[in-house]
Amino acid sequence: MLLVLAALAAPGTAAARTREYWVAAEPARWNVVPNGLDAIHGMRFDRSETIFPTTTYRRYTRRWRHPLRLRDDARAGAGRIPGPLLRARVGDRLLVHFLNRDTRTGNAHSMHFHGVEYAPSSDGAFVPGFSGRDGNVPVGGTYTYRLHAGRDSAGVWPYHDHGPAMAASLAGGMYGALSILGPRERRPDREFVVMFAPFGGFQAIDGRAFVGNTPVFQSRVGDVVQWDVLAIGDEHHTFHVHGHRWRGADGVPLDTRTLGPAESFRVRWREDAPGTWLYHCHVESHMANGMIGLYRVRR
């Protein structure tokens, strides 16, 4: 009985385990503004301005048999841009099996992970004369990255293509987030990925621009919500959520926090503010050009 109670008290606690993910890079036609509208400024866009051929990560079932679209990923705003949300807990081993299916460009690709421990052979960066296949997986080729969520890995981290075509890949959305819980940390009720990165001339969150296109994150009063905030690209962004505050590492309340390229952090609170709120980058020109979304809290 005591053991059962202990398990209920700390539902997140689990023995270290090996987590396997099957991911492919594959072509997509991506619409940055699916509703064709900047609703706040009353501007319309033609589809020809907002649809781009690109290549993204995509999660698959074992041995890449079928594409895998998880409800958790969809709720978190992840899946294609950003790629699948890879979850782990400190102590876990991660095996990320990667298949390059990018027949669109024919480029070699890779996966490079921040925040976790790995041998150089799982770095995923292309370095002529040094790196192996991990940084340069050709079309049709596969590679398994062997990672370890170490003591310092708790948090949220980006992963992205670091192959020879990295610049084009990142502009096209080949990035995603790793979310690693501490050894005894409780999993949040809701987890939202906010990935700031430009796309197709827009300032996008999760590859979409403007309210209604960027993820409409949803929670209920009482939920523990976790925001995984990351940035990719050349610019700094300031993450801001209306009607909410959280504590920084020094205990000081915040409602806006800055991050630069490849930086990431997570923010948690217990939801107590019902309503429809904005979240956005507070760099004004970024907000005006798409980095803004809706957050809906129900009672």
Partner 1 sequence: MRARLGTAVLGALALASPPAAGAAVGVVSIPGQSFNPSRLTIAAGDTVTWRNADFLEHDVRAADGSFDSGHLRRFAFFARRFDNVGSVPYLCTIHPFMRGQVDVLAALLSGPPESVLAGQPVELQGRAGAGATSVALERTLADGSWRAVGTTAPGPDGAFAFVVAPDGPSTYRAVTAAGSSAAVTVNVVATVAVAVTVRVRRQQRLVEVATRPAAAQTLATLERYSRWHYRWRPHARARLRARGHATFRLRSGARGLVRIVLRATPHGPLLATSTPVRVTNGKPAVDPLVAIVHGPMAAASRRG
Binding mask 47-66 for partner 1 (x = CB under 8 A): --x-----------------
Q: Is 39 in the site for partner 1 (CB under 8 A)?
A: yes
In the set 91, 212, 243, 274, which binds partner 1 (CB under 8 A)? Answer: 212
Q: 130: which residues sit within 8 A by CB, 6+ positions away?
A: none
Among residue numbers 67 through 126, which ones bind partner 1 (CB under 8 A)? none
Q: Is 182 in the site for partner 1 (CB under 8 A)?
A: no
Q: CB of residue 276 vs partner 1: minimum separation in angstroms? A: 7
Q: Is 294 in the site for partner 1 (CB under 8 A)?
A: yes
Q: Is 31 in the site for partner 1 (CB under 8 A)?
A: no
Q: 23: which residues sit within 8 A by CB, 6+ positions away?
A: 57, 58, 59, 60, 83, 84, 96, 97, 98, 99, 111
Cis? peptide before 82, omega within 30° of 0? yes
Residue count (the chain): 299
Q: Which of 38, 30, 35 is nearest to 210 (CA)?
A: 38
Q: Is 273 in the site for partner 1 (CB under 8 A)?
A: no
Q: 258: which residues sit within 8 A by CB, 6+ positions away?
A: 236, 237, 238, 239
Q: CB of residue 169 vs partner 1: minimum separation in angstroms? A: 24
Report yes or no: 203 and 281 within 8 Å, Cβ to Cβ: yes
Give the DSSP H/E element, type plus range, for residue 296.
Answer: strand 292-298
Binding mask 213-242 for partner 1 (x = CB under 8 A): x--x--------------------------
| Residues engaged in binding partner 1 (CB under 8 A) | 34-35, 37-39, 41-46, 49, 201, 211-213, 216, 276, 294, 296
